[in-house]
Every structure is written in C-alpha cells, then in structure tokens.
A and B are shown apart, each in its own frame.
Chain A
Amino acid sequence: MRKMLEYLIPGLKLFVICAVAAVILGLINEVTEPEIKKNQTKEQEQALKAMFTQEEWREIPAVPFSLSSKDFEDDLLKKCRTTEQKQFLAYGYDFDGNNDTYNLKKDLSLDDREKLGALLKVIGYKNKGPVESYFPVIQNQSVSGYALKINGNGYGGAMTIIAGYNTDGSIRDVRLLDNSETPGLGKKAETEGYMDKFIGTGGDKPVPVIKNMLGDQKEIDAVTGASITFMGIADALRSGSDFVKKIEGK
C-alpha cells in the first residue's frame, strides 16, 4: 500500500498541475481566439485585394464534385435533419446511374453554390480536398476568375495559400499566408518573386510540381534546401487549378 502511494502521488500531482494549466490556457484561448481570427481575415482580405481590383468578396465553401452513391447517402443524406435539406441536396447533385455516383450540377448559380456549401457545413460534412473555399471575381456581371483558399502541407505542417486563377485554371498570383516553415529556408516562399515561377502555369502549361520542371538553373537553386515547402505549395496550386477547371465544367 505504501509502495503504491509512493508511485501514485507523484502521478496525481502531475495530473493536478496539468489540469490547472489546461484550464488557464483554455481561458486565454477564449480571449485571444477572436483576435487571431480577425487578424487572419484581415490578412486574407489584403491578399485578395492585392490580386484583383474588387472591393466586395464573397466566400463560397468548397463542396465535393462527385461522390459515390454510398458516400452520398451515408455522409450527406443521412445527416440531414429536415426534408428541405434533403431536397436541396437532391437539387444540387445529379445521380449518374452508369458510374453509381452523384455529381455536382454544372450550371448551379453562385447563390445556390453558396447555399449548398453552407448546408454541408451545417450537417457537419468535412471536405477532404485541399481547396477550402473560393472567391469568385466578378467583372461585367460574369465570373472572370477565382481566388482560392487552399490548405497545403509544408515542412512545418499546415500552410494556408491564397491563389488567384483565371477561368482556364492558369495561375495569376499566389500568396503564402499562415505557415510554420523554417525561417531562412521555407519561409522564403513569403518573399516577393518566389511565386513568379508558378504564374501563368496551370492552364496549357502544367504547374511545376518537381524541381526539374523548373526551366532555369537559378530557379532550381532557389528552391533547393526547401524542396518540401516548394512541393507543398506546388501540389496545392495544382489541385487549385484542377478545382477551377471543374467549376468551369472543363
């Protein structure tokens, strides 16, 4: 018994310290979280405004383009609570009997896309693709391009990327926002000029996803030592390009 307590008490004391620390950190997170969110939105807005001259931006959550009928029923239909939600899902997705899949309707209006995205969020569906949401660029009442918010994976973990695309899927401009890349190496991706190698690719020209696809030796040298960051960004940009092509129905 005595022996047991000898081992038990230190463990319990450690637990008490952990519990107190957790409560304090929870409280602090409660205070700082809204501020951090505000900073992130501000940064995102600045990135968007630097890419396209547009004042008002609407964010549309990304939804899957195609789901197997089993996934569609399990992940979406069964989680709906009202018949209205079910009806709207059936309106947004067409059933393809040949492949046994549900495909997103191609000619949905932006309003419907936004509503569908909001619905998926409400029923707790987590989109698996790297594209989190998109911001259509409207010129003369028609969509002239998209800005995408893409989650990439770098050397230091998750990265948030804002990228502007033309409607053919080619890249107009890229900004690396939140990231934990190594200063002096991967962090260089934040500097001006780094993203130049991607601009114009994604349409007719493929996005360079491995170092050897960069033509210039100078550009290869620029990403050497931080290849994981480069590949993370390139991968995210390529998925973004595919995403834009799918929205445009190409």
Chain B
Amino acid sequence: MLKQFTNGIFKENPVFIILLGLCPTLAVSTQVVNALGMGVAVIFVLLGSNMFVSLLKDFIPEKVRIPCYIIIIASFVTIVDLAMRAYAPSLSKSLGVFVQLIVVNCIILGRAEAFASKNNLKSSVMDALGMGVGFTLALTLIALIREVVGSGKITLFAIHAIGFNGEINIPYLSDSPIRMIGYPAGALLVVGLLKALFNWFESRNKGAIK
C-alpha cells in the first residue's frame, strides 16, 4: 500500500520519470507559490477523479469510458476553479487558465485509464496521493530553482498576522538575477537538467545492484 504512494514520488515520478503533465510544469513553475497552488489543485482533482473512476469502474461501460472519465475530471476541475475564485482570488488570478487546463493534464487522465480503472478504491487513493505529491514536489523543485536563480527571491503565501508579505529576497541574487531562467526557455533548460540528474541517479542505482 505504501509502495503505491512512494512509487509516485520517486520511482514513477510523473514529471521526471514518466514525463506526464510537462506542459503545466513548464508554464506554472515561475513562482513557488504558483507551483504549490497548482500542486494542491492537481492533488485534489487527481484524488477525486481516481476515487470516482475506481468506484464506478463496473458501472462505466467500456465503450464510452473516456468521455466518462473526462466528465468526472472536468467536474472536479470546475469545483476547484469555482472554489479558488471564491476563496483564493489572488491565487486564481495568477494561475489563470492553467486551472481549467487541468482537465487535459495527462497525469490525471493517464492515472484514471492506467490505474484507477483497474484497481480498488484504496490503491487508487494511494496512487492519486503519490502521483499528486510527486507532481507537486517536482513542480516546487523546478519553481524554486527558477525563482531563486531567475529573480532572486522566493514567493510564498503571505501571512499578514506575523507581518510576512510572502516574499523572501535572496541577497546578491536579487540584485543581479539570471533572468533567462525565469523565462519559458529557462524552464526547458531546468527541466532538462533535472531529468538528466534523475537519469544519472537511476543508472547509478542499477549499477550498484549489479
């Protein structure tokens, strides 16, 4: 059971290993706060869709399974979108169309088709959590690198109670950041380098077993 969870984080990390959902990864990883917000939204949608697809797997006819999955996913996305617009308007503003685009995020449809439709509720929930957390961690890592290097700061949620405005400035880097990393081309570079790093780890581990 725990294996399903950790699988999504390391061995089958959606972004770095199975290379799913790269489009939102590249687009949303400009700020740490956006990555976390997107991650939470994806975890919620993934959890909801995996749960319902798994529960309804005997009800859903084979012939129209994809439309059924899409309706379930789209419903959860709409719920997240409406809730964000009502209770977290600034986050919803900065995530823009990417929330709606979760509908076509291949991680979610991919997991519904490849996992939830063949497994029981418990495993599907663990799979959703693992994949969701794996996606969030990967996204946050990319965003952290891009924001620190690209604009010399880390943006988190503002907590007004303790006077924290949500921005941590990094000395030196905030004066002369490497702007390119913050741009779309920088996203490709960072993801590519991280993927290379993951591949290196993987091949080293395999060598150790031999």
Contacts and interface: CB of A to CB of B under 8 A. Distances in A.
Interface of A: 9-11, 13-14, 17-18, 21, 24-25, 28-29, 31-33, 35-36, 39, 43, 156, 180-184, 187
A40 to B, nearest CB: 9
Nearest to A177: B93
- Determine the main DSSP class of B at the interface with A: helix
Q: Which of B63, B87, B184 has the most CB of A within 10 A?
A: B63
A29 B75 contact: no
4 smallest beta-carbon distances between A and B, as pairs: A35-B86, A10-B61, A32-B86, A32-B82
Nearest to B100: A180
Contacts of B184: 184
Contacts of B61: 9-10, 13-14
- Determine the main DSSP class of A at the interface with B: helix
Contact of B96 (A13, A25, A35, A187): A187
Given A17-B72, A187-B96, A36 B78 contact: no
A86 B79 CA distance: 44
Contact of B68 (A17, A31, A156): A17
Contacts of B82: 28-29, 32, 36
Contact of A21 (B71, B96, B97, B98): B71
Given A13-B68, A18-B71, 16 more contacts: A10-B64, A11-B64, A13-B59, A17-B60, A21-B74, A25-B75, A28-B83, A32-B82, A35-B86, A35-B87, A36-B82, A36-B85, A39-B86, A180-B96, A183-B27, A183-B97
B75 A183 contact: no
26 contacts: A9-B61, A13-B60, A13-B61, A14-B61, A14-B64, A17-B60, A21-B71, A21-B72, A21-B75, A25-B78, A28-B78, A28-B79, A28-B83, A33-B86, A35-B87, A36-B82, A39-B85, A39-B86, A156-B97, A180-B96, A182-B97, A183-B94, A183-B97, A183-B98, A184-B27, A187-B96
